[in-house]
Structure 1
Amino acid sequence: MSGAEKREDLRAQLGAANAKIEARAGRNLFFAILSGLIFGGVFLGSLLWVKQLFVILVAAIVAVALVELASAFRVGGRRVPRIGVVFGGLIIVSGAYFWGPEGMLIGLFLGSLVLTLWRLIEGLVPAWETPPRTLVRDVFSGLFTLVYVAFLASFAVLLVQVDNGQWWVFALVVIVVSVDVGAYVAGVTLGKHKMTPLISPNKTWEGFAGAAAAAMAVGVVITIFALNQPWWVGIILGIVVLFTATGGDLTESLIKRNLGVKDMSSWIPGHGGFLDRLDSILPSAVGVYGVALVIGVV
């Protein structure tokens, strides 16, 4: 066999192996890793360099994720105003940054008011309305969008502003990633027993066990070396994030199945949309903030 034939054979073997992994895990491994590294670098640069840049990054990602979910709702027959929901979401994030928890709650009220009025005005303009009129359902879908994306993401904005807050946000993201990686590796190599076949067919109990081990191990390490907290705080963080990340992933899968979409978008190669990557982080931000609040960091 010539050198060219050997290279072609190796390429074919690698392609077949990647296809098997993609079929079992539900994503392109190469593009998923490459995209993850790029966005991981942007995240670390903004978080550890200037906190204000991180807040701007959060606001930008929230805006894109809001547009993704609003567009997905439209596929499901619900007209959620994309511009209105973005304005509302940015009000919530801004409130959290400038005025803390109270500002975030006031921002949720004001953002919800803006979104509701925007949709009501759209309903009065015949050129903007698409029959049948579903104002009430559309408004509640929009309010869900604001809470699910912007309000939950704002907990990361609150967290980054406490003492050593950048490391708490770093711990949040790293533990969420460890849950994802642990579940992925264990699920691909050992996965046999389906966890939620009707919601997320690729999830297995073996993957959940791998995610649990990875989350607690990473939680202990990052708690000791980055957060300067006792090791048992890392165990608590690992357990909390295990359930919030898994629950967030399943929640988004349920939303997508209900709306009849595979991914929220295709903007991130190997990952789908921004919301497809935020699904585990959003509820986990609340969980980590809660742990920090209980132990007196916040």
Structure 2
Amino acid sequence: MSEGSGTGAPRTPETGRRGKPRSREELRAQVQATRADFERQVQARKAQLDATNELIEQRTGRNLILAILIGLVAGVIVVGSLVFIKELFIPFGMAMAGFAAFELTQAFRSAGRRIPRIPTVLAAVAIIPASFWFHAGGQLVALSAGIALVVVWRLVEELAVPARRAGGAALGRDLTWSILVQLYVSLLASFVLLLLAEPGGEWWVLAFVIIVVAVDTGAYAAGLSWGKHPMAPTISPKKTWEGFAGAATTAVVAGVLLSLFMIDQPWWFGVVFGVVLLLTATAGDLAESLIKRDLGIKDMSSWLPGHGGFLDRLDSILPSAAATYVLFLIFR
């Protein structure tokens, strides 16, 4: 065959070598285009999620993603300690009570009320193991000792530094608030440990915590979706009656299910359980909101992003713990 025959110019080594590189270049370009398209989709989804989270944060004051992550971590710690070795819950409870007492004390001090920090935190921490190991007697002794320590500490401060003396009326207010911190944080938190120390008490603790979370979740979801009628506008403007209705629904459903399948109680007790904790959780939330309103602050601290402070997460749990312990004593 002559050189001129065929469909085109003769294939040289150069053109043969160029065939495969062109295929590789096309494949590389296709991969890069696919990767760029995937990155654009990821960025679009991220922007959409950020926009949704920003709208939720504007309406509720929470960073939803951080709130969920922190809630999951706390949930794992609580469930793990309660289900496997309930004594492991003691250091967790001590930390929570200590941080909550410190936050509340610091908030009062920022408003000019001189509540001693060190004895307040020590008393809140000490009552936790005392209530677990020595039951109601240990709770009473630890509470009394804590109140005495805080009062004596404040009186010594008043006498030791004449230049900073508050005077009779101001000193009386400081002592009153110091005692109230012990009753609000230390005493109410200790009921969790009293309940935990009872046979099978870990399941009651887990049940009431789940119901309180259900109350918060139901109120949050219903209020976000349908909330129009303020429940207590002067205390907590974002709380609505629609949110309360959602909280009531989730509380009763959770109460019935947990009563039947976790704490071996009849269904009607679950209704009572759910309604009681609905009321205590709501009252606890409103009580803390009233304190914050009086102090002129939004959150007790910023230590828990998406939640505020430790006390902001415990406000519903503290009174609910006392109510659950009473129900346990009556119906066990």
Mark yes or no: TM-score above 0.5.
yes
Query: Structure 1 length as normaliser, TM-score?
Result: 0.94
Structure 1: how far apart are the matches of 2:166 and 2:183? Answer: 26
Structure 1: how far apart are the matches of 2:87 and 2:235? Answer: 38
1:134-283 matched pairs, under 5 angstroms: 134-283=170-319
Q: 5+ residue gaps in structure 2?
A: 1-35
Query: Structure 2 length as normaliser, TM-score?
Result: 0.85
Structure 2: how far apart are the matches of 1:139 and 1:52? Answer: 34
Q: Could you tell me which of 45, 52, 57 is aligned with 1:17?
A: 52
What is the deviation of 1:88?
2.0
- 2:149 corresponds to which residue? 114
- 1:293 corresponds to which residue? 329
Contact 2:280–2:316 (8 Å) recurs in 1? yes
Match of 2:305, SS state, is coil
Contact 1:47–1:53 (8 Å) recurs in 2? yes
Structure 1: how far apart are the matches of 2:88 and 2:160? Answer: 39
Structure 2: how far apart are the matches of 1:21 and 1:282? Answer: 27
Contact 2:94–2:126 (8 Å) recurs in 1? no
Structure 1: how far apart are the matches of 2:43 and 2:54? Answer: 16
What is the deviation of 1:41?
0.7
Q: RMSD in angstroms over aligned alpha carbons?
A: 1.6
- 1:95 corresponds to which residue? 130
Q: Could you tell me which of 103, 108, 126 is aligned with 1:68?
A: 103
Match of 1:21, SS state, is helix
* AA at the equivalent of 1:62: A
What is the deviation of 1:13?
2.6
Structure 1: how far apart are the matches of 2:58 and 2:112? Answer: 30
Structure 2: how far apart are the matches of 1:235 and 1:193? Answer: 26
Structure 2: how far apart are the matches of 1:45 and 1:5? Answer: 40
What is the deviation of 1:44?
1.2
Contact 1:193–1:205 (8 Å) recurs in 2? yes
Structure 2: how far apart are the matches of 1:226 and 1:49? Answer: 15
What is the deviation of 1:225?
0.7
Q: Could you tell me which of 160, 166, 184 is aligned with 1:125?
A: 160
Q: Which string of whole-angstrom CA distances, capped at 9 and with x for unpartnered residues, describes residues 163-220 of structure 1?
A: 2110000001000000000000000011111111111111110100000000010111
- 2:20 corresponds to which residue? none
Greater RCO between the two (CA within 8 Å, min separation 6)? 1
What is the deviation of 1:7?
4.2
Contact 1:62–1:149 (8 Å) recurs in 2? yes
* AA at the equivalent of 1:66: A
Contact 1:26–1:202 (8 Å) recurs in 2? no
What is the deviation of 1:264?
0.8
Structure 1: how far apart are the matches of 2:244 and 2:44? Answer: 36
Structure 1: how far apart are the matches of 2:40 and 2:132? Answer: 59
Structure 1: how far apart are the matches of 2:120 and 2:225? Answer: 41
What is the deviation of 1:50?
1.5
Q: Could you tell me which of 71, 74, 91 is aligned with 1:36?
A: 71
Contact 1:87–1:114 (8 Å) recurs in 2? no
Contact 1:22–1:28 (8 Å) recurs in 2? yes
Contact 2:196–2:202 (8 Å) recurs in 1? yes
What is the deviation of 1:6?
4.7
Structure 2: how far apart are the matches of 1:261 and 1:175? Answer: 28
What count of residue pairs does the alignment treat as equivalent?
Answer: 294
What is the deviation of 1:83?
0.4
